């Protein structure tokens, strides 16, 4: 298991959920919800610096059969922009199937209403994405997903 803090990111059309882990990569915890739009990439870059993150783990939404559709294309495009903005910190795309569903179910089980929990569910989804990536790395000995490379465009 590589040492270092990672940031988990769940990108949506309105909000971006952010989570982080401890330097040992054991457990993911919520950080904040960033509003999409002007300044969102800057805020994520600030969080990379604040947490001294070794990488960002960005959820890639795939359908249950593993195919990529419009939401995945949106996440890839956002990830490419983010990778350029936070370079040299790598951005790694990882499968996030059902992360928001799992997060919302957990919050409902804790008694948080859907309306009150909207901003928090984004953070919870980022936690699920990051925790799954940490568990996969611990199980396989290698980092999961694919690293987005920054091109000189």
Q: Per residue of the chain (153 residues), what is the pLDDT tens digit?
A: 899 999 999 999 999 999 999 999 999 999 999 999 999 999 999 999 999 999 999 999 987 676 777 889 999 999 999 999 999 999 999 998 655 555 556 655 666 665 666 668 889 899 999 999 999 999 999 999 999 987 655
Q: How confident is the model at residue 121, as a pLDDT?
A: 84
> Two tokens at 76?
């890839």
All domains of the chain in start order, with CATH: 6-144 (3.30.420.140)
Maximum Cα interatomic distance, the chain, rounded to a whole number of Å: 48
State the pLDDT at residue 41: 98
Say how far apart CA 148 and CA 84 lie, in whole Å.
9
SS3 54: coil
- Say which residues have a Cβ less than 8 Å from residue 123's Cβ, sequence separation at least 6: 10, 17, 18, 19, 30, 31, 32, 33
| Non-local CB neighbours of 29 within 8 Å, separated by 6+ positions | 19, 20, 21, 22, 127
Q: Measured between alpha carbons, how far is 78 from 93 in angstroms, rounded to an integer?
A: 11
> Whole-prediction pTM value?
0.87
């Amino acid at each position: 298991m590589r040492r270092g803090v990672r940031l988990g990111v769940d990108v949506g059309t309105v909000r971006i959920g952010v989570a982080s882990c401890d330097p040992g990569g054991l457990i993911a915890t919520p950080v904040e919800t960033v509003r999409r739009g002007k300044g969102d990439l800057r805020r994520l870059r600030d969080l990379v610096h604040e947490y001294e993150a070794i990488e960002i783990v960005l959820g890639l939404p795939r359908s249950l059969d593993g195919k990529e559709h419009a939401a995945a294309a949106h996440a890839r495009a956002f990830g490419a922009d983010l990778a350029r903005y936070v370079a040299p910190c790598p951005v790694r795309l990882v499968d996030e199937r059902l992360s928001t569903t799992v997060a919302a179910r957990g919050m409902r089980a804790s008694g948080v209403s859907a309306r009150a929990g909207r901003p928090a569910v984004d953070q919870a989804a980022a936690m699920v994405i990051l925790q799954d990536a940490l568990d996969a790395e611990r199980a396989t000995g290698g980092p999961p997903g694919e690293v987005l490379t920054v091109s000189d465009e």
